[in-house]
Amino acid sequence: MREKRGRAGVGKASGPGLYAAAASVLSGLEQRSGSLKALVYGSRFPGPRLLLALVSETLRFGPVLEALLEASGLLRAEKKLPPHLAKVLAYDLLFGKGLRGGGPWKAPLLKHRARLQAELARLKVRRGVSRDEDLLPPPAGGGGNGTLPRYVRVNTIKTRFDDAVDYFKRQGFVYQGRASPEMKGVASLSGKTFLLDPHLPGVLIFPPGTDLHEDQLYKAGHVILQDKASCLPAFLLNPTPGSHVLDACAAPGNKTSHLAAIMGNKGRIFAFDLDAKRLATMSTMLARAGVTCHNLAHQDFLATDPGDPKYSHVEYILLDPSCSGSGIVGRLPYEEEERMDAQRLQALAGFQRRMLGHALKFPALRRLVYSTCSLHQEENEEVVRDVLEQHGRDFRLVEALPSWTPRGLGVFAEAKCCLRASPKETLTNGFFVAVMERRQAETEDQSSLTVLPETGSQGGADKPSKKKKKKQKLC
């Protein structure tokens, strides 16, 4: 049964155990030692749903609480009060039902209550709002990823990168060159300006909310409106022109068209999907993008026979299976946690493990990329770990884009080889990518296996770097 929620969320928050457990979950999240749900259920606190609600609400009010703690000087006055605990207590004091418990920290907190309340009132006046909820940032997304930059991938099958840049300049946009690797200033990009993405060449960054759906270049398939994180899988798979590639869960096909562009539209992409409607959309989309090197099949990937001679040259597989979608901006993390119960998550993870295990059976496979738009480690690191336990003799992880900062959660030793993306850290949707390679590729002739791309390859404003035949860093 659900615990009753209070005015702004949590109802029966009580007891020092609850506050200490909530503070410990917040600290675990900061150290990236697990997902919210994993930390809550791993905490052994007897009321996990209550704990989840308290932490989620504290996170939701996080920036407001930080501002109030700073303005009130609470942490400066109470030097031994751990900051995460202060946040949880301040949340319950100001936005929940008031402190009922709090152990040794109850009295000091109550001593500062008047000051905290005064700072809250002041903040509301400054922001011109009357309700607590109005202090929260507006929900991102609204169907258009309102707070994320608009990423635009230049479709090199149809146009040259420089021509696309010139086109946007002619439309009155000011080109500001390549963004810094830290993406400094990108979050506040505004007006008619655009930048070149520092990690993914051929990807342009426009201010959030830039609507290019009516733009001629988009309508003609010369550019694709695609989140940057979703460009990572094809970029990292990096199939060579002329090779055979399998896209196991392909529709609606943005990653397929990206693969085709990287391959110079030469070779073969076997693209499967279970959903006929999505495949129909994909077919139109690929036609618009000028992709011709694909075979679309309305088929269950699990029912494909890896031993079928037509797949005997498949060296690259992109596996982007159905997932919880919890990384998609526009959903609040705790809403997602509530929607996605443990059973559904386990079912999804089981499906993802089967798909990944099946993909690794293709005899000529040399490199595979596994990706999801999920934040749950159950669908990400844990799937990779479990499947590698079975197939680790033949396949291993490769360190994907070492310069990319958010790495896989430390669920197993090599998880740092994987990469993650998030609105906060990378200004993209939440995403996970793992790159695997067949072990024998390390020692055998690597003539058909190029290295993973580094920033600067595959086109862009700078000259594409030559594909080097150097050894890949394996995990």
Ligand X SMILES: C[S@@+](CC[C@H](N)C(=O)[O-])C[C@H]1O[C@@H](n2cnc3c(N)ncnc32)[C@H](O)[C@@H]1O
Q: Which residues are catalytic?
A: 373
Does residue 311 belong to the site contacting ligand X (CB under 6 A)?
no
In angstroms, what is the minimal distance from the CB of 273 to ligand X?
Answer: 4
Cα gap 300→20, rounded to integer Å: 47
Judge contact between 99 and 109, C-beta under 8 A. Answer: yes
Q: What is the CA radius of gyration of the chain?
A: 24
Q: Is 320 annotated in some ligand binding site?
A: yes
| 251 annotated among ligand-binding-site residues | yes
104 is in an annotated binding site: no
Distance CA 137, CA 211 (A): 22
- Is residue 274 close enough to count as binding ligand X by CB under 6 A? yes
CB of 158 to ligand X, least distance (A): 18
Q: Which two tokens stand for residue 305?
A: 């026979």
Q: Is 322 in the site for ligand X (CB under 6 A)?
A: yes
Please pick, from the candidates 251, 263, 269, 415, the single residue that binds ligand X as defined by CB under 6 A: 251
Q: For the chain, how many helices (H) and strands (E)?
A: 17, 15
Residue 86 counted as an annotated binding residue? no
341 annotated ligand-binding residue: no
Kindly state whether residue 301 participates in binding ligand X, applying the rule CB under 6 A.
Answer: yes
Phi, then psi, of 433 in degrees rounded to 5: -140, 130
Count interface residues toward ligand X (CB under 6 A): 19
- The single-letter DSSP state of residue 189 is -
Interface with ligand X, residue 250, by CB under 6 A: yes
Measured from the CB atom, the residue of 32 and 344 that comes closer to ligand X is 344
Q: Say how far apart CA 181 and CA 57 lie, in whole Å.
A: 32
Inter-axis angle of helices 342-359 and 381-391, to 10 degrees? 40
Residues 294 and 201: their CA atoms lie apart, in Å, by 23
| Candidate list 105, 168, 194, 272; residue touching ligand X; CB under 6 A | 272
**Least gap, CB of 299 to ligand X (angstroms):** 7
278 lies in the site for ligand X, by CB under 6 A: yes
- The nearer residue to ligand X, 47 or 233, going by C-beta atoms, is 233
CB of 348 to ligand X, least distance (A): 10
**Quick one: which of 57, 119, 320, 399 contacts ligand X (CB under 6 A)?**
320
The type of residue at 288 is: R
Tell me if 252 contacts ligand X by CB under 6 A: yes
**Interface with ligand X includes 376 (CB under 6 A)?**
no
Tell me the closest approach of the beta carbon of residue 255 to ligand X, in angstroms. 4
| Residue 255 binds ligand X, judged by CB under 6 A | yes
Residues in the chain: 475
Q: What is the largest CA-CA distance in the chain?
A: 76
* Residue 297 touching ligand X (CB under 6 A): no
71 lies in the site for ligand X, by CB under 6 A: no
> DSSP string spanning 321-342?
-----TTSTTS-HHHHHHHS-H
For 79-145, the DSSP string reads TTS-HHHHHHHHHHHHTSS--S--GGGHHHHHHTHHHHHHHHHHHHHHHT--SGGGGSPPPS-TTTT
Distance CA 124, CA 155 (A): 47
Q: Please enumerate, by residue number, every residue annotated as part of a binding site for S-adenosyl-L-methionine.
A: 249-255, 273, 300, 320
Binding site for ligand X (CB under 6 A): 248-255, 272-275, 278, 300-302, 320-322
